[in-house]
Amino acid sequence: MQSLILVGMMGSGKSTIGRAIAEVAEVPFHDLDRVIARNLGHTVPWLFERLGEQTFRDHEANELRQLPNEACVIATGGGVVLREDNWTEMRRRGKVVWLRASLEVLAVRLERGRMRRPLLVHDDWLERVQAILDARTPLYSQADIIVDVSDEEPEVVARHVMEASAWPSL
């Protein structure tokens, strides 16, 4: 069985929805940011600040490759799409799903969670979300499946994702 890999902007719900899907499908769930933090012994903001973004991205790529080779659900960090090698690795593992959220939805969600995101700890955070979304839209669009997310319950979005991707399949 292939894995299901969720990509999308910060605040699009990758972790919550990924966990819900894994529960329904009864497969392991891996949250890449958490894996990085656990294996390196530091939080993502700490790693970003102390090592710089590019070194963080090196660790992110490395930890993605080191995940167990098993059928599972993987929630990635929003920037995993920036490296072409990560796409090769994600496609090798299974189906890639973009959880697409509008700027309006992201703005509401990130207002609360943004201080945990090193890219958004600035006063002009909303402009930055817009700029990141614009820059990454062509990258996220390379996903195999696109599912729009808004304010539905995670279980509802999880069902949409499973229907749209026909995953898990035999």
Kindly list the residues in this chain that would bind ligand S3P in the complex (CB under 6 A).
Answer: 10, 14, 33, 44, 77-79, 117-119
Q: Which is nearer to ligand S3P, 14 or 168 (CB)?
A: 14
* Closest to ligand S3P by CB, 79 or 168: 79
Closest approach of ligand S3P to the CB of residue 170, in Å = 31
Nearer to ligand S3P, 14 or 95 (CB): 14
Question: Are 78 and 56 in contact, with CB atoms under 8 Å apart?
Answer: no
For residue 71, the minimal CB distance to ligand S3P (Å) is: 22
CB of 18 to ligand S3P, least distance (A): 10
Q: How far is the CB of 28 from ligand S3P (least distance, A)?
A: 18
